Amino acid sequence: MTDATPDQIAGGVDADRLARLRAGLKRRHARETRFKWYGRLAIGAAMVFLAILLIRIVEQGHTAFYAHTVTIPVYMDPARIDRAYPQGSNFEQLAAEQELARWGIIDDAAGTKAAQMKRLFSSELKYTAAELVAKRSDVIGQTVPIAVPLSDDADLFLKGEISKATPEDQRRLTDQQITWLERMKAEGVIGAHFNTILFTKGDSTQPEMAGVLGAVVGSALMLLVTALIAIPLGVGAAIWLEEFAPKNRLTDIIEVNINNLAAVPSIVYGLLGLALFINWMHLPRASPIVGGLVLALMALPTLVIATRSSLKAVPPSIREAALAMGASKTQTVFSHVLPLAMPGVMTGAIISMAHALGETAPLLLIGMVSFVPGVPHAIDQPVSALPSLIYIWENASERAFHERTAAAIIVLLVFMIIMNAAAIILRRRFERRW
């Protein structure tokens, strides 16, 4: 339509003005196109950032999902194994020396070669062998194959993360260790397989033995506490504010308060948790109960806001019909309004729980930065949660923890995606438009 305007008025206007209008129009259209492109570029930039973020995490993390195991025959030398106390025997040394002997390599007096060989195996070898001897003492004097994970550095080399091109003094493996690894690989005793340890073990100081299960259970316990506290309180508060609250100053204060609490930085909740729950109430540090309480207080405002909007969406005619049939206010709300608002309430609850699952800063302040081995089983014992485990691993100096950090992030994101997808499905299936 704008195209036609200059031509229409051209009849009565001199050519000069027409030319100016035409030129101006061209400029304006160019400006329009440019502006459109700014918008496209902005969206493109946001999408590119998202893509880089996700691609980088998968790129860094996918290698952690498989690991290498070596199977070596160990002669259970009766002279070097204490039958009564197998844990005390030096199985690692035994295996390393035997491996060298098999290849006909003669060690020097200080045993440096055996020490280097030992460093290719995970120290888990010791526990695997000791367990075997403790269970079946008849293996002493026999040669048994023992399968153990490779040490983190050897594993990284086989994944191509440690390059032979790096000068020897700058890499974590010596030339000799690399030759040995390649020889073992050629012999076919090294196998790559899915890294089950990552999903079945708790944290460990050895990267090759570290897993996320402890943190997943820790997060689950914490979210359980959060859900049990935040959902009833949040829904209750929302019902009162939306259905019962009289219009007065107190109600206004509560409303403004909830809106402001939703925007308080999460670290402030951490300070509150530290001062109130740990320093004052003496609840155990880094426990799911404290973490759950802090996250519950944090999730409360968003939960209230979400629940209120779904209560608001229930049309007043429902309430009026119930009241007209003689139901009391409470009966109206609990038998008619709330059931109809339930899909929205559940969606809001799941989304706020997903948000709580990813929250890290308050957890650091209540002590979830320390190393917790194993898998927790009680809500008053120290645990680490998934996000805090990511933080701990990211700070670890071993390089093998870097790929595991990215893997833990993938696990966390998968949980969040599942929760959000559940919320979306709930909304799609049960949402009613009035």
Partner 1 sequence: MIWILLLILAALGVAAYLGGRTLARRRSVGAKPHSRPGQHGAYALIWVAAPALLVLVLGSVFSAPLERRLTAVDTPPAVSALDPFRRDAFFADAHRVGRGGQALQIWERPLAEQLPVEARRMVRIERTLEWGGAIAAILAAILGGLFAMSQIKPRTRARNRVEGWIYGALFVCSAIAVLTTVGIIASLAFDSFRFFQKVPVFDFLFGTQWSPQIAIRADQVGSTGAFGAVPLFAGTLLIMVIAMCVAAPIGLLSAIYLSEYAGRGMRAVVKPLLEILAGVPTVVYGFFAALTVGPFLRVFFNEIGLFLVGGPLDGLGQYLALVQNQMALTAGAVMGIMLIPFVSSLSDDILNAVPQSLRDGSSAMGATKSETVKRVLLPAALPGIAGALLLAMSRAIGETMIVTMAAGLAANLTFNPLDTVTTVTVQIVTLLTGDQEFNSAKTLSAFGLGLTLFLVTLMLNIVAHRIVQTYREQYD
Considering beta carbons, is residue 83 or 428 the nearer one to partner 1?
428
Tokens of 426: 């709930």
Contact with partner 1 (CB under 8 A) among 17, 31, 193, 428: 31
CB 426 within 8 Å of CB 346: yes
Q: Does 282 bind partner 1 (CB under 8 A)?
A: yes
Name the DSSP class of 68: E
Distance CA 128, CA 144 (A): 12
Give the torsion through C-alpha atoms of 338, 342, 347, 352, to 10 deg: 40
* Residue ranges in 49-108 that form contacts with partner 1 under rule CB under 8 A: 49-50, 52-53, 56-57, 60
Considering beta carbons, is residue 139 or 416 the nearer one to partner 1?
416
Stretch that binds partner 1, among 114-122, 199-207, 281-289, 426-434 (CB under 8 A): 281-289
Considering beta carbons, is residue 184 or 221 the nearer one to partner 1?
221
Distance CA 381, CA 59 (A): 35
Q: Does 264 bind partner 1 (CB under 8 A)?
A: yes
Q: Does 260 bind partner 1 (CB under 8 A)?
A: yes
DSSP code per residue over 72-131? EEEE--TTT--SS-GGGS-HHHHHHHHHHHHHTPPP-TT-HHHHHHHTTB-THHHHHHHH
Stretch that binds partner 1, among 25-33, 68-76, 151-159, 191-199 (CB under 8 A): 25-33
User: With contacts defined by CB under 8 A, how many residues of the chain interact with partner 1?
Assistant: 91
Which strands form 190-194's sheet, in the order they lie side by side?
143-149, 66-75, 190-194
Distance CA 262, CA 260 (A): 5
Let me know the angle formed at the C-alpha of 20 by 18 and 22, rounded to the nearest 5 degrees: 70
List C-alpha distances in Å: 334 to 5, 228, 290, 331: 62, 19, 31, 5
Considering beta carbons, is residue 152 or 243 the nearer one to partner 1?
243
Stretch that binds partner 1, among 7-15, 45-53, 93-101, 166-174 (CB under 8 A): 45-53
Stretch that binds partner 1, among 40-48, 74-82, 115-123, 336-344 (CB under 8 A): 40-48
* Residue ranges in 358-417 that form contacts with partner 1 under rule CB under 8 A: 358-361, 364-365, 367, 369, 387, 390-391, 394, 402, 405-406, 409, 412-413, 416
- Nearest distance, CB of residue 202 and partner 1, angstroms: 19
- Nearest distance, CB of residue 267 and partner 1, angstroms: 5
Q: Does 228 bind partner 1 (CB under 8 A)?
A: no
Considering beta carbons, is residue 91 or 269 the nearer one to partner 1?
269
Select from 62, 161, 152 the least CA-distant residue to 410. Answer: 62
Three-state SS at 24: helix
* Residue ranges in 287-346 that form contacts with partner 1 under rule CB under 8 A: 297, 300-301, 304, 328-330
Distance CA 128, CA 146 (A): 8
Considering beta carbons, is residue 180 or 269 the nearer one to partner 1?
269
List C-alpha distances in Å: 111 to 84, 96, 257: 27, 10, 69
Considering beta carbons, is residue 6 or 111 the nearer one to partner 1?
6
Three-state SS at 385: coil
Through-space distance between the first and last CA atoms of the chain, rounded to whole angstroms: 39
Considering beta carbons, is residue 137 or 360 the nearer one to partner 1?
360
68 - beta bridge partners? 192
Question: Which runs of consecutive H residues, i.e. helices, occur in 213-327?
Answer: 213-239, 249-261, 266-273, 288-312, 316-324
Contact with partner 1 (CB under 8 A) among 67, 156, 223, 241: 241
Considering beta carbons, is residue 212 or 297 the nearer one to partner 1?
297
- Nearest distance, CB of residue 336 and partner 1, angstroms: 15
Contact with partner 1 (CB under 8 A) among 150, 154, 197, 258: 258
Contact with partner 1 (CB under 8 A) among 9, 42, 101, 425: 42
Q: Does 220 bind partner 1 (CB under 8 A)?
A: no
Stretch that binds partner 1, among 41-49, 68-76, 148-156, 184-192 (CB under 8 A): 41-49
Considering beta carbons, is residue 342 or 364 the nearer one to partner 1?
364
